[in-house]
């Protein structure tokens, strides 16, 4: 996690430099950078702290060092890194001329990490990978930053982390009218856990876009892919996958007030000790989400948790306190989130050698404040909070049995017993579900269709009452 926080710190630190030198010569950069840093550090929403030191400015070039504390509440030198920054001012910055770039530019920035004993007394020389950062700001207020990551190894508390190098490119519009984009790739990642276990990654790729549309939240999209994954224990491959990927997107809803959030997770060709478990996707799509309320809920949770941790020496010392925080957050903010009447869609797909397992959940949430009634029945309470809900599943019995068998084998069961127990599991589950008329079974395929809307329940194309549905659970 500290590595991701550090990358955020790099972008923030460069942002201070970009803003500080975009409009000024070197003799004016110092006060501007100091003001911007003070403004950043004074914000309660910032987790990082930045300190500027050793500034020297001239007409054509400036030099400074930025100390990035990874936790603003902890000024321990072990919690910091130091960036050495050289700024060449336009219109023809020397750093760009050396690389053969002759177009007019506002500024060019070059930065790297350094060891500074005044801020970092650690004897380790490889707490972070070596980076070379080159940033260029054009007169069109477009900025390009290239971060080259050199091959290296980090010593962890137990084990080590090695990479074969990588590159990250960040393109930004300083006026905010166009998308900011970030794209990069890190090659040959090896994580040694120090106990005979190794994780291998052929590469990690990242692509992200960001576009400002409100003071609360930007719209954007992030894709991250882990390719060529393998885990080995004492030289034996126990787990592998061609790819594990995740994506998240946040865009303005059609109402121009709320946001649409989409999360997607995917795995290709997952194997356990050579056994093909399969491939699959899982998504969560939320429409008309009030991100401002959600952010307030998260901030409230974090602040209350900080107070609890400050009070207790260990979080585990007061589990009731944590439960109380969560309960208060739910009771306070869930009704506020319901005001926008968000929708939730959760599709699931898993494919193995025996077939495709499919499921889909749709929920349309209602604002209870729009319904005024004295009816306290179960149906009335459901209708106050839900417009409708639907669930569908298609499960080939053989596909489910194979998946169940493979999980049992992964836990150490031998193949024959795993297959026998998985078969018995399927028989018992189907028998139980059939007893309560919850499913249909045709051609060794289990299906289920459920819909609820305004007090009406349709289960497998048959309309039943809510009372009848609840009675099936008794």
pLDDT along the chain (474 residues), means of 10: 49 57 53 70 67 75 79 66 77 46 59 58 52 72 81 84 91 69 93 89 93 68 95 91 94 82 95 92 93 82 72 56 77 87 96 95 93 81 92 94 90 89 88 80 91 90 79 58
pTM of the model: 0.76
**What confidence score (pLDDT) does residue 128 get?**
60
As to burial, measured by CB atoms within 10 angstroms (0-12 exposed, 13-18 middle, 19+ buried), residue 40 is middle
**What confidence score (pLDDT) does residue 397 get?**
92
The CA distance from 14 to 447, in Å, is 55
The secondary structure of residue 1, as a DSSP letter, is -
Half-sphere exposure of 257 (CA within 13 A, CB side): 9
For residue 242, give the nearest of 275, 197, 201, 283 by alpha carbon: 201
End-to-end Cα, the chain, rounded Å? 46
**What confidence score (pLDDT) does residue 328 get?**
80
**What confidence score (pLDDT) does residue 175 get?**
64
**What confidence score (pLDDT) does residue 203 get?**
96
Token look-up 């025996």 returns 354
CB 154 within 8 A of CB 186: no
The CA distance from 342 to 258, in Å, is 9
Helix axes 415-435, 397-410, angle to 10 degrees: 130
**What confidence score (pLDDT) does residue 377 get?**
82
**What confidence score (pLDDT) does residue 106 get?**
59
**What confidence score (pLDDT) does residue 118 get?**
42
């Amino acid at each position: 996690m500290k590595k991701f926080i550090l990358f955020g710190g790099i972008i923030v630190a460069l942002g201070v430099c970009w803003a500080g030198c975009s409009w000024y010569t070197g003799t004016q950069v110092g006060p501007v950078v100091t003001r911007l840093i003070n403004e950043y550090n004074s914000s309660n929403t910032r987790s990082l702290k930045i300190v500027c030191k050793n500034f020297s400015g001239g007409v054509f070039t400036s030099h400074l060092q930025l100390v990035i504390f990874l936790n603003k509440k902890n000024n321990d030198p072990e919690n910091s890194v130091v960036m050495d920054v050289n700024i060449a001012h336009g219109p023809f910055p020397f750093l760009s001329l050396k690389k053969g770039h002759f177009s007019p530019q506002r500024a060019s920035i070059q930065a790297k990490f350094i060891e500074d004993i005044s801020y970092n007394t650690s004897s380790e020389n490889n707490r972070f990978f070596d980076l070379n950062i080159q940033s260029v700001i054009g007169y069109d207020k477009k900025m390009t930053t290239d971060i080259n990551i050199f091959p290296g190894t980090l010593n962890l508390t137990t084990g080590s982390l090695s990479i074969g190098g990588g590159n990250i490119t960040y393109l930004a519009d300083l006026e905010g009218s166009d998308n900011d984009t970030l794209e990069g790739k890190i090659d040959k990642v090896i994580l040694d856990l120090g106990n005979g276990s190794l994780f291998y990654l052929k590469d990690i790729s990242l692509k992200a876009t960001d576009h400002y549309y409100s003071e609360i939240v930007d719209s954007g999209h992030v894709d991250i892919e882990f390719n060529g994954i393998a885990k080995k224990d004492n030289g034996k491959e126990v787990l592998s996958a061609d790819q594990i990927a995740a994506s998240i997107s946040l865009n303005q809803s059609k109402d121009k007030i709320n946001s649409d959030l989409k999360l997607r997770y995917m795995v290709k060709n997952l194997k356990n000790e050579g056994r093909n478990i399969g491939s699959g996707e899982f998504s969560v799509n939320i429409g008309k989400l009030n991100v401002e309320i959600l952010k307030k809920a998260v901030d409230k949770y974090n602040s209350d948790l900080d107070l609890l941790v400050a009070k207790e020496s260990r979080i585990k010392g007061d589990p009731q306190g944590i439960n109380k925080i969560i309960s208060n957050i739910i009771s306070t903010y869930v009704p506020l989130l319901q005001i926008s009447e968000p929708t939730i869609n959760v599709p699931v797909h898993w494919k193995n050698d025996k077939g495709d397992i499919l499921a889909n959940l749709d929920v349309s949430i209602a604002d209870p404040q729009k319904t005024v009634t004295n009816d306290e029945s179960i149906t009335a309470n459901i209708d106050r909070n839900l417009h409708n809900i639907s669930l569908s599943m298609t499960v080939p019995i053989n596909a489910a049995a194979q998946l169940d068998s493979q999980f049992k084998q992964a836990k150490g069961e031998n193949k024959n017993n795993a297959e026998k127990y998985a078969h018995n599991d399927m028989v018992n589950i189907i028998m139980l579900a059939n007893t309560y008329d919850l499913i249909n079974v045709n051609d060794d395929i289990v299906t289920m269709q459920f819909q609820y809307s305004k007090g009406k329940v349709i289960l497998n194309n048959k309309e039943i009452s809510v009372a009848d549905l609840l009675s099936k659970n008794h």
